[in-house]
Structure 1
Amino acid sequence: MNGSDIRNIYCIGRNYRLHALELGNEVPDEPLVFTKPTHAIAPMNGNVIELPGDVGEVHFELEIVLRIGRAYEPGMDADLCVDGMTLGLDLTLRDVQSKLKAKGQPWLAAKGFKGSAPLGNWLPYPGAAALAEKEFVLVRSGSEAQRGNARDMLFGVSELIRYVGERYGLGAGDILYTGTPAGVAALKDEDRLLAIWGDDVVGSCSVKLV
């Protein structure tokens, strides 16, 4: 699946308690859902991703991303909806987001800019229970920046799929960013990023701030 095959991009905010707290946000009592346009998709295949460098800090947020292969139907086993997984970056213009939040305005300018949704290589989906058997890691320019595990999600995969599917709809071709653990920070020009699932690198890219 490439960017042209993806229909809807759903993202979950504040799904790891420590990440919510590190940004001074309240821990939600139900999933916080936002979207990105499909033009935000970018590969992580050793390429260079150009990002805005003149509007404040660009933060990295590494996340487990699920690919929907079958439309959600009420009451179904949520695992049956998913046919692939990878790691992806929910890139965020943090200064822009802070200004939007202060005004009570939508996050699109901070979350939906071109290149804000880099994706690694798709892998077979092992099931919600097996996701917790491996950790995911973001290495930035040779140093570990983030480490997470699906078991630390406030809202697990099944709950997220039911919530999004019942309220917004989930169909084949949709993808779901499931939230980021603590450790987010600003990217620097020429940063080299590796997205690691267990022992395997599933995506890599370099950053160019323009």
Structure 2
Amino acid sequence: MIAVNNVYCVGRNYKKHAEELGNDVPSEPMIFLKPSHAICALDDGTIALPQNAGEVHFETELVLRIGRAYEPGIKVEDIVASVALGIDFTLRDVQSKIKAKGHPWTAAKGFRNSAPLTQEIEFPGLDALNEAWFSLRKNGEVVQRGSITNMIFDLQTLIDYIGEHYGLGEGDLIYTGTPEGVGPTVAGDVLELYWNEEKWGGCTVG
């Protein structure tokens, strides 16, 4: 895989997902980070996940790879080099405990292999992204299906917000948020990510 720098993730960027977890809908982008060691390939191999820390949930997302440094006023099509699909694996029981204490999410979100990534394609343009659907199949059954047109904060808003507050540069990734339908996965599950009807990647949970 191509070298990765910063891994930015957007929380609660789909209204129905926020509602399904009983969370408030944010008024501005909610950004958290994962370490680069969270990235691994969704190449139909086995991905080892923690099996002794409570439920592990899948969250399927469109992922942007940044191709150049952010400058104020830059457009999505000029800064995004490629797109992929990814999973934001979350230790849900751990997250619930640390949220109750007001602690950072790193323990629930930043573990190794928590941000696997499919193959990438060259940025196809906003129209193509808006017209497409992405989905996750768990053991052959569609469990998540989303469109970026349902995002609370669109791609331009996310890029401007992250670029202005934290900086964006070549090799950075943005996990843009997950639609409703998140749920648990256990060892032996087969997860497959689709762009429309084309499979982009998958794994067996280990």
TM-score range, shorter chain: over 0.9
Q: Is 22-31 or 71-80 further displaced after alignment?
A: 71-80
Taking the TM superposition and a 5 Å limit, the aligned residue runs for 1:99-138 are 99-138=97-136
1:71 and 2:56 aligned: no
Unpaired segments ≥5 residues, structure 1 = none
Give percent identity, aligned residues only. 53
User: What pairs with 1:25-40 in structure 2 (closer than 5 Å)?
Assistant: 25-40=23-38
Name which of 5, 8, 33 aligns with 1:7.
5
1:49 equivalent among 47, 50, 69: 47
- Give the Cα separation in 2 of the matches to 1:129 and 1:25: 30
| Structure 2: stretches of 5+ with no match in the other structure | none
Aligned length: 206
Distance between the aligned counterparts of 1:102 and 1:96, measured in 2?
A: 10
Secondary structure, in 3 states, of the residue corresponding to 2:69? Answer: coil
SS in 1 for 2:22: coil
- Asked whether 1:165 is paired with 2:174, we answer no
- Residue 16 of structure 2 aligns with which residue? 18
Q: Provide the secondary structure at the position in 2 that maps to 1:170.
A: coil
The answer (yes or no) to whether the contact 1:11–1:179 under 8 Å persists in 2 is yes
Aligned-partner Cα distance in 2 for 1:114–1:77: 32
Q: Is the 8 A contact 1:55 1:95 kept in 2?
A: yes
Instruction: Tell me which amino acid in the other structure corresponds to 1:171.
Output: G
Displacement of 1:138 in angstroms is 0.1
1:10 corresponds to which letter in structure 2? Y
C-alpha separation between the residues in 2 aligned to 1:36 and 1:178? 13
Distance in 1 (alpha carbons) for counterparts of 2:44 and 2:184 = 20
1:207 deviation in Å? 0.2
Contact 1:46–1:205 (CA under 8 A) maintained in structure 2: yes
1:193 alignment partner AA = L
1:77 CA drift (Å): 1.7
